[in-house]
Structure 1
Amino acid sequence: MGQRGSTQAEIRVLLLGLDNAGKSTLLYKLKHKSAFSTVPTVGFNVEMLDVKRQRKNIALTVWDVGGQAEMRRHWGGYHQDTAAVVFVVDSADRHRLDEARKELEKTLRSEQLRERPLLVLANKQDVAGAMTVTELKDAFNLRRICGEREWFVQACSAATGGGLDEALRRVSHMVKLPSDSAAAVKENIKGTVNYIRAKSVR
């Protein structure tokens, strides 16, 4: 792999969801554009995805953490320095919907993830009987649990690849780049200086 340019921002994204939601399949489909046979993730997988945002190259470092009950106890250890949360839901498994909602709510209460954007992926849309985006929004009561944070629900299928490019573009636009806050501070300083100059001329 060649050296990354100094202009490329590197952003950490946390990929969570219950076991069998399709997180690893989804991640490898995004990375390699082909289907992989996966086994339940014990621990985590890390992949880097290159995306563009307004002509700027962004490297999304995606941490895919196992979703088994024993692994969920360790999710909090991955919250630090996370710029966005991507939560994958098996939208064809209505029996575990309440379990998934509770885990998402618990995750969003983390102080380290405060105001971080959330992308919910309604995965397995290729399966008959899968919930729609609207059904998932209502079942998770996202307007209530997300509060002021930016959020979005994207229908997708890790098996077919449908909706994944849109999901990647969405998360790349939701994350705050390090330069975003720096530019805002610079603009504020510039505005203050101009205001002081204008006042002193009078």
Structure 2
Amino acid sequence: MGKAFSRLFKKSKDIRVLMLGLDAAGKTSLLYRIKLKETVPSIPTVGFSVETIHFQNLTFTIWDVGGQDKIRNLWRHYYVGTQVLVYVIDSSDRERLEESKQQLYRVLNDPEMREPILLVYANKCDLPGAMSVEEIANHLGLQQLVNRKWNISQSCAITGQGVNEGLSWLANQLTAAKKSMKNTSNNNNTKKSTTTTTATQQPVAEPVRT
């Protein structure tokens, strides 16, 4: 997983983030809470929104794609080059949790999405009856994702609760991947500099005396 993610990280200085989830999960509100640090009235995203943000010396380009049923088949067009998947769940909506799980695994099982790390935001944690992160993680079966780095963070797009905690975890993973990639590169360069090739010298024939 580490080597695979390092390859993704190496492709661009900016981190390509794909933000997905069911409609009404609060993706766009969460996106602008991250970018503007305030609540922005939003309407359901038809198509996509894209924003660039800076966090802990990292630059993220976040693609927020609409979650309505009729456009979910378009999600796959945004997979290529994705380094991070942010999946947003309405933690107060128990009735659609199974649907959200099905859509999540449809994304994760796509060949283009087997390497990105996963950050799940259990959004709308301020609403009555909101599920805990433990309950959501268990229902989603996140513990089974043994070959993928993942985290789940409670969040509220209105107040900002939990948003930075999720981003901090993400930044730590990315920084570690970058450091690992740099160390690997340095080790390879060291090996190259210490490797010598010995040429075989052919004996020079003595001149024949007559």
TM-score by length of structure 1 reads: 0.84
SS in structure 2 at match of 1:48: strand
Q: Which runs of 5 or more residues in structure 2 are unaligned?
A: 1-11, 197-210
Q: CA–CA distance in 2 between the matches of 1:104 and 1:83?
A: 16
- Counterpart of 1:17 in structure 2 is 21
Once structures 1 and 2 are overlaid, which stretch shifts more, 185-194 or 127-136? Answer: 185-194
Partner SS for 1:138 = helix
Structure 2 matches for 1:42-121, cutoff 5 A?
42-52=46-56, 57-121=57-121
Q: Deviations over 1:78-118 (max 9, x none)?
A: 00111100000000000000000000000001111222100
Kindly indicate whether the alpha-carbon contact (under 8 Å) linking 1:120 and 1:152 is maintained by their aligned counterparts in 2: yes
Q: CA RMSD in A?
A: 2.1
Counterpart residue type for residue 61 of structure 2: T
Number of residue pairs aligned between Structure 1 and Structure 2: 185
Residue 3 (structure 1) aligns with: none
Q: Quick check: 1:117–1:175 contact (8 Å CA) kept in 2?
A: no
Distance, in Å, in 2 between the alignment partners of 1:121 and 1:20 is 13
Please tell me whether the aligned partners of residues 86 and 119 of structure 2 are also in contact (alpha carbons under 8 angstroms). yes
CA distance in 2, matches of 1:50, 1:167: 14
Separation in structure 2 between the aligned mates of residue 15 and residue 175 of structure 1, nearest angstrom = 17
Structure 1 unaligned segments of length 5 or more: list them: 1-7, 198-202
Asked whether the equivalents of residues 83 and 175 of structure 1 are also in contact (C-alpha less than 8 Å), the reply is no
Structure 2 CA distance, aligned partners of 1:81 and 1:176? 18
2-structure distance, mates of 1:111, 1:180: 26
* 3-state SS of paired residue (2:67): coil
Aligned in 2, Cα 1:178/1:99: closer, same or farther, shift over 3 Å? same
Decide which structure has the larger Cα Rg and report it. Answer: 2
User: Over residues 114-133 of structure 1, what are the superposed CA-to-partner deviations in whole Å (9 max), with x where a residue is unaligned?
Assistant: 22100000001100110001
Change beyond 3 A, Cα 1:117–1:178 = closer
CA contact (8 A) 2:119 2:153 kept: yes
CA shift in 2, pair 1:178/1:136, >3 Å: closer
162-171 vs 57-66, greater mean Cα deviation:
162-171
Aligned to 1:130: 130
Tell me, in whole angstroms, the C-alpha distance in 2 between the residues paired with 1:74 and 1:21: 18
Contact 1:84 1:175 in 2 (8 A): no
Separation in structure 2 between the aligned mates of residue 126 and residue 28 of structure 1, nearest angstrom: 18
2:156 is equivalent to residue 157 of structure 1:
yes
The percent of aligned pairs where both chains have the same amino acid is 38
Offset from partner CA, 1:145-183 (integer Å, 9 cap, x none)? x23110000011111110111122222223379955752
User: For 1:50, what is the secondary structure of its paired residue?
Assistant: strand
8 Å CA contact 1:50–1:60 kept in 2: the answer is yes
Instruction: Return 185-194 or 123-132, whichever deviates more.
Output: 185-194
